[in-house]
Amino acid sequence: MAFRTARNLAYFSNYIRNYSTNGPLVNVTVNEKSGFATATLQRPSVNSLNLELLTEISHTLQQLEKNKCRGLILTSASNKVFSAGLDLFELHKPNADKIKQMWSTLQEVWIKLYGSSYPTVAVVNGHAPAGGCMLALSCEYRVMLNNFIIGLNEAQIGFSAPMWLIDGMRNTIGSRQAEFALTAGTLFKTEEALKIGLVDEVAQSKEEAIEKAEKFLNKFAKIPPHARSMTKAALRGANIQALVRNKDEEVRSYVDFVTDSQFQDSLGEFIELNLKQKLSK
């Protein structure tokens, strides 16, 4: 067991509380009874993933792994947006070095979350396009609130989701649905997402969603943690290894792609059409 004594659990809780004070963009709390951690993304206003937020998520996941977390609930402080995906303003006319770091940190986040030894649930309490959907897909279970959207809309913005993310979508909703969804860049409403299996349960409130998430995590209470994590690694390891082998090459091609004028034009159009905040000319 990860926490054999109440003292261990108390130490872990304090550790996480202390750690959380250092992270303004991700707040981590631990339920002392269950030992489950809740990581709440809180970058105003839509948790768009810039380098700072990605770095903090990556660091949080590393700390949770180190401290033998018993289960993670990933959610948002906003009651409208879980995460709006990559920060589109940072992708526009970018500094190549920063984009390089951003992409490489995004890969790290996926590797750590998708490959975590502990069980994970996304409480999707708001919209989750693109990178927001990626975070949810990396978890083992998704509980979503009604009247929001989720999906991989990269095609609409002018690029393709990377292979590891396509595989995650395929594993979750099946090849045929994934092909339809990815080529059209479909964003699904909560009920539609439930129907195709992109989310596992729907909840009417965040409290209900957290209850459902805890119920999922509690399913593993009697399963030896090492057996659970070995099985997860066996199921997910090949996808992770494929990215690890190709990490640097993918960063290089992503930087080339994003800095190209054709992508910049289509990104500019997407921002002008879809976001309230406009580009400074």
Ligand X SMILES: CC/C=C\CCC/C=C/C(=O)SCCNC(=O)CCNC(=O)[C@H](O)C(C)(C)COP(=O)(O)OP(=O)(O)OC[C@H]1O[C@@H](n2cnc3c(N)ncnc32)[C@H](O)[C@@H]1OP(=O)(O)O
Question: What residues are annotated to the active site?
Answer: 86, 131, 153-154
Per CB under 6 A, does 166 bind ligand X?
A: no
Task: List residues bridging with 188 in a β-sheet.
Answer: 150
Per CB under 6 A, does 85 bind ligand X?
A: yes
* Residue 281 DSSP label: -
Half-sphere exposure of 78 (CA within 13 A, CB side): 20
- 3-state SS, residue 173: helix
The residues in 96-135 that bind ligand X, with binding defined as CB under 6 A, are 127, 129-131, 134
The residues in 38-67 that bind ligand X, with binding defined as CB under 6 A, are 45-46, 48
Least distance (Å) between residue 42 CB and ligand X: 14
Residue 37 or 258: which CB sits closer to ligand X?
258
Least distance (Å) between residue 244 CB and ligand X: 17
Q: Do residues 170 and 178 lie in contact, with contact meaning Cβ atoms separated by under 8 Å?
A: yes
Angle CA 277–40–17, to nearest 5? 135
Residue 108 or 154: which CB sits closer to ligand X?
154
Residue 88 to residue 1: CA distance in whole angstroms: 42
Per CB under 6 A, does 249 bind ligand X?
A: no
Least distance (Å) between residue 110 CB and ligand X: 9
Q: Which residue has the tokens 């913005």?
A: 157
Q: Which residues contact 246 (CB under 8 A, 6 or more apart)?
A: 163
Least distance (Å) between residue 64 CB and ligand X: 22
- Residues forming contacts to ligand X in the complex (CB under 6 A) are 45-46, 48, 80-81, 84-89, 127, 129-131, 134, 153-154, 157, 159, 161-162, 165, 254, 257, 274-277
